[in-house]
Amino acid sequence: MPRIDALETGSSTQRNGLNHQAIEDYLKTIYSLAETETPVNTSRIAEARQVKPGSVTSMLQRLAKLNLVHYEKHYGVTLTDAGEKIALEVIRRHRLLELFLIEALGFSWDEVHEQADVLEHVISEKLEERIADVLGHPAFDPHGDPIPDKDGAMLTIPSQSLTALAVGETAQVARITDDANSEMLRYLGSLGLIPGSTVTILTVAPFEGPLTINIEGQEKIVGYAVAKAVLVTPA
């Protein structure tokens, strides 16, 4: 797969004043925001990356010059084929690293996202492939997110948020949304809301109130925001 290195001519870390990490992080953000709504507008990117809309705009103009995105001010942004390839490559490295850190190095599932966010920009293709070999070419990461293969192909499993289920419905936890932070993951782990768990909705309080959920045979009360981060598939 093409890597960002392939785009570079001069220095190994800079091109047009942009470094790898910034380019890869933006492409990754645009890719994941486009999963819910595309084209992606500047304010959503600014919110996701916690930067000012003005700096997003100038970044998008630079990415457009590199032919990594299509960008029009009042329309929004979409990834070009080249931009999408790089985004999927970074996502592959991130998710493989998360699984590797848990399986091989004994990290817990709430610790690995931050580590992977740094390492995803620096590991070589050789190391990436060795990790994939050692893990047996897994299709999912520890949070239930699909891992793209070397060609960028990725299994997508239709899922919906736990909050979309009706009272009495049973489902299986498929994945935790990527915006769940370590604290949230620890809490979800303590509730038993992890990929593979079976859940049944017992009661739902109105106005985005808490849900009572049977999680693997135990009755638990779960806040709305927490339940929203949990994606499920029919059991």
The binding site for Zn ion (CB under 5 A) comprises 113
48 vs 211, which CB is nearer to Zn ion? 48
Give the shortest CB-171-to-Zn ion separation in angstroms.
23
CB-count exposure of residue 156 (10 Å: 0-12, 13-18, 19+): exposed
CA 188 – CA 172 distance, rounded (Å): 14
CA 137 – CA 187 distance, rounded (Å): 29
Give the shortest CB-187-to-Zn ion separation in angstroms.
17
113 vs 175, which CB is nearer to Zn ion? 113
Give the shortest CB-55-to-Zn ion separation in angstroms.
23
3-state secondary structure of 113: helix
**Encoded amino acid at 5, one letter:** D
Give the shortest CB-142-to-Zn ion separation in angstroms.
9
Q: Would residue 78 be called left, alpha or beta, if left means φ above 0 and alpha means ψ between -120 and 50 degrees?
A: beta
93 vs 113, which CB is nearer to Zn ion? 113
85 vs 92, which CB is nearer to Zn ion? 92
